[in-house]
Amino acid sequence: MKRIHLLTRLSVLSAGLLVAFGVLVVHVYHVQVVRHDELHTKAQEKCLTSRTELGRRGAIYDSLGTPLAGNLACRDILAEPRNFKGSRQEVIQALAAELKISPVVLQARFARADQAGDRPVEVVVARQVDIRTAEHLKEYQFRGLRFVDSYRRFYPKGRLLANLIGFLNEQGKGTSGVEQLMDSHLRPTSGRAVFERDRRGVRFEGGIYRELEAADGWDVYLTVQEPIQQMVEDELATLFKTFAPRAAYALMMDPSSGAIMAWAQLPSYDPNDRASMRNPDSWQNFILTHGFEPGSIMKGVSVAGALDYGIVSLNSPFFCERGSWFYGGKSLRDAGHRYDTMTVAQIIQKSSNIGTAKIALAMGDKRLYQVLNRFGFGKAIGLGFREFGDGAPLLFPAEATGIFRDLPKWDTLSVTRFPIGQGVLVTPLQMVQAYASLANDGVMLQPYIIDHITNPKTGEERYSVPMTKGRTVRPETARQITQALKLVTREGGTATKAAIPGYDTAGKTGTAQKWITGPGGRGGFYASDRCISSFIGYVPAENPAFVLLVVADEPTRGGSRYGGIVAAPTFSRIAERTLRYLQVAPSAPTTAQAARRRGTSDGTAEADFADAP
């Protein structure tokens, strides 16, 4: 009997175990097979984590390899609040004290991490923390904090070339200048590591691990040389101090290649100090983004066109109406002068408005339009990097085109005003490009500011290739206008102060009255007390090393507004120092250069004040 009971019990127990095992098998099958993907995903959500690494942004150098923008080593501090050990408030207080962050802000960041469910969340405590502060925080040995090597943008030359180089926004993206233009090349590539870890955050050695390596950005080399740039900025600062203009610019270019050699502006800013950027005028790139009425510096281009068409020669005479001429219902003047009959060469030398206007009338509207259009006015320059020399160059996003009206929109006065630089807006880049073609036997080259870029990992280099844009005038015409422009810096010209001892200098002065728009944008007038003073030239005249433009916007002191007094001396000082630096051998000194050494001048002022009141 006992044996029967024992067998019964064993049978029931065996059946129960068999049922339980069957249920277990079914459950395991359901878990391992049916719900495999679902549960595996959930497990990964808890055990898998990822970390993003960022490469270094490319550096910016001058053409000699001098660093202009680089990266300063620092730390990013990240936190996983759920891994804090001990008092969270203690961690918050320490972070707040060391990083100068409000405890309330930190508390809010950590609270958002707590609301992310079961998945651990890493939040940013602070970015770009200096090394010393980060190392001091490490000494607390707080669990849940992670210190990541990082960098912040640093500009070792401070204000030097700042308006061209530009700056980054808070997200590390270029928003101005070369930093913006070349952002896609300078910007590093993010890397990402995905791995399994335990509850303490330690990676499983045999677990899943995937990694995409971060890549540094390309390094950018400009065409500018830091020594020349420093000379230009030093002399521009002297002009700024002496004449107190609203703004001042200087732009230098190699006419034989199109490479920009110097690019300076005042006021400026220090990109390392955001407080210096409170005034928008200090950080905007006016050479690139602003146009101005050029005044008499336009005359060299206009007269070159007439010479090229064969309408005039340098010896062609024009009656200059003894200082006042009525045409198209309005008077045109040579302010302060009563010129009689002058040759074309003398008209350039003395900067006669009336003489230039009559030359343009002889040329006619259509031909004048073709001349100014051929010299590139009204069109964007496109200074950006052209990879392998193919295609159109990248444009600075804010590059201005100036204002040059299409021929059907010209009125009766246009043919007499445009050639003397009234009624048109040009950019400094356009004017330098135009004169560079005259300095280069009539061949216009594409200006460019990026010499080459380099991949810091592979060493691959990509160079800009100088490109011809077209011909503006014949070689003999370029030589003729150069002879006339040389007279401007000689005795009897409007810019004897631009002369350089030992070198022939070709150039042109400008003193353009500023147009003041009337109320509501209607009408307006030229203000005799608000001027743009300028000088543009190239030296040595017969084989130019560079073209240089100097502009002072609204000089307010110093006793003069004329370009020959305000801008020409700055041109001379910059040019003389640059020629010495480039070791350009001088030629025999001219009479005007000898006169300049004696400190004499004929006192001639250009006749840019065109319209009678």
Q: Tell me the DSSP string of 106-166.
A: HHHHHHHHHTSTTS---EEEEEEE-HHHHHHHHTT--TTEEEEEEEEEE-TTTTTTHHHH-
Q: pLDDT-based confidence at 196, cuts 50/70/90?
A: low
For residue 551, tell me if it sits in a domain.
yes
Asked if 80 and 121 count as a contact pair (C-beta separation under 8 A), the reply is yes
What distance in Å separates the CA atoms of residue 548 and residue 249, rounded to the nearest whole number?
10
Domain extent, residue 273, equals 226-598
For residue 317, tell me if it sits in a domain.
yes
Q: Tell me the DSSP string of 571-612.
A: HHHHHHHHHHHHTPPP-PPPHHHHHHHHT-----------B-
Helix (H, G, I), strand (E, B) or coil at 502: coil
* CA-wise closest residue to 488 among 338, 359, 349, 287: 349
- Name the least confident of 46-55, 65-74, 151-160, 293-302: 46-55
Could you tell me the two tokens for 296? 């008499």
- Name the least confident of 49-53, 270-274, 452-456, 529-533: 49-53
Mean pLDDT of 68-93: 87
**pLDDT higher than threshold 90 for residue 541:** yes
Tell me the CA distances in angstroms from 134 to 70, 76, 78, 99, 459, one per residue in order.
21, 8, 11, 9, 33
| pLDDT at res. 406 | 96
pTM above 0.85, yes or no: no
Task: Taking each helix axis as running N to C, give the angle between helix 353-363 and helix 365-374, from 0 to 180 degrees, rounded to the nearest 10.
Answer: 100
Number of independent structural domains in the chain: 1
- Start-to-end CA span in the chain (Å): 138
* Interacting residues of 408 by C-beta distance below 8 A, sequence separation 6+: none
| pLDDT at res. 331 | 92
| pLDDT at res. 602 | 45
| pLDDT at res. 465 | 84
Could you tell me the two tokens for 290? 């602003």
**pLDDT higher than threshold 90 for residue 500:** yes
Q: pLDDT-based confidence at 279, cuts 50/70/90?
A: confident
Mean pLDDT of 483-503: 96
| pLDDT at res. 200 | 52
Mean pLDDT of 191-216: 59
For residue 163, tell me if it sits in a domain.
no
Asked if 447 and 433 count as a contact pair (C-beta separation under 8 A), the reply is yes
Question: pLDDT tens digits, residue range 404-440?
Answer: 999 999 999 999 999 999 999 999 999 999 999 999 9
- Name the least confident of 179-188, 428-437, 439-448: 179-188
For residue 322, tell me if it sits in a domain.
yes
- CB < 8 Å & 24+ apart, contacts of 105-113: 110/79, 110/81, 113/79, 113/80, 113/81, 113/82
Give the CATH number, domain containing residue 420.
3.40.710.10
267 preceded by a cis bond (ω within 30 of 0):
yes
| pLDDT at res. 89 | 87
Mean pLDDT of 467-493: 96
244 or 107, greater pLDDT: 244
Could you tell me the two tokens for 107? 């508390």
For residue 385, tell me if it sits in a domain.
yes
Q: pLDDT-based confidence at 601, cuts 50/70/90?
A: very low
Strands 67-79 vs 145-154: parallel, antiparallel or unpaired: antiparallel
What distance in Å separates the CA atoms of residue 88 and residue 566, rounded to the nearest whole number?
66
Mean pLDDT of 12-36: 71
* Interacting residues of 90 by C-beta distance below 8 A, sequence separation 6+: none
* CA-wise closest residue to 231 among 560, 572, 566, 590: 572
For residue 538, tell me if it sits in a domain.
yes
Mean pLDDT of 576-598: 72
* Phi (first) and psi of residue 263, to 5 degrees: -150, 105
Secondary structure (H, E, C), 236-301: HHHHHHHHCCCEEEEEEECCCCCEEEEEEEECCCCCCCHHHHCCHHHHCCHHHHCCECCHHHHHHH
* CA-wise closest residue to 287 among 553, 578, 564: 553
For residue 45, tell me if it sits in a domain.
no
Asked if 257 and 445 count as a contact pair (C-beta separation under 8 A), the reply is yes
| pLDDT at res. 48 | 54
Mean pLDDT of 51-64: 85
**pLDDT higher than threshold 50 for residue 59:** yes
- How would you class 161 by CB atoms within 10 Å of its CB: exposed for 0-12, middle for 13-18, buried for 19 or more? buried
**pLDDT higher than threshold 70 for residue 318:** yes
| pLDDT at res. 362 | 96
| pLDDT at res. 588 | 55
271 preceded by a cis bond (ω within 30 of 0):
no
Q: pLDDT-based confidence at 194, cuts 50/70/90?
A: low
* Interacting residues of 201 by C-beta distance below 8 A, sequence separation 6+: 49, 80, 83, 120
| pLDDT at res. 469 | 93
494 or 602, greater pLDDT: 494
| pLDDT at res. 612 | 37
DSSP character at residue 558: S
Helix (H, G, I), strand (E, B) or coil at 385: coil
CA angle 216, 221, 227 (to 5 degrees): 135
For residue 11, tell me if it sits in a domain.
no
Question: pLDDT tens digits, residue range 97-124?
Answer: 888 898 888 888 888 777 666 666 788 8
What distance in Å separates the CA atoms of residue 203 and residue 567, rounded to the nearest whole number?
67
Q: pLDDT-based confidence at 201, cuts 50/70/90?
A: low
Mean pLDDT of the chain: 86
- How would you class 522 by CB atoms within 10 Å of its CB: exposed for 0-12, middle for 13-18, buried for 19 or more? exposed
Mean pLDDT of 244-270: 96
Asked if 210 and 217 count as a contact pair (C-beta separation under 8 A), the reply is no
Q: pLDDT over 90 for what percent of the chain? A: 55
Helix (H) or strand (E) holding 219: strand 219-222
- Name the least confident of 288-292, 385-389, 447-451: 385-389
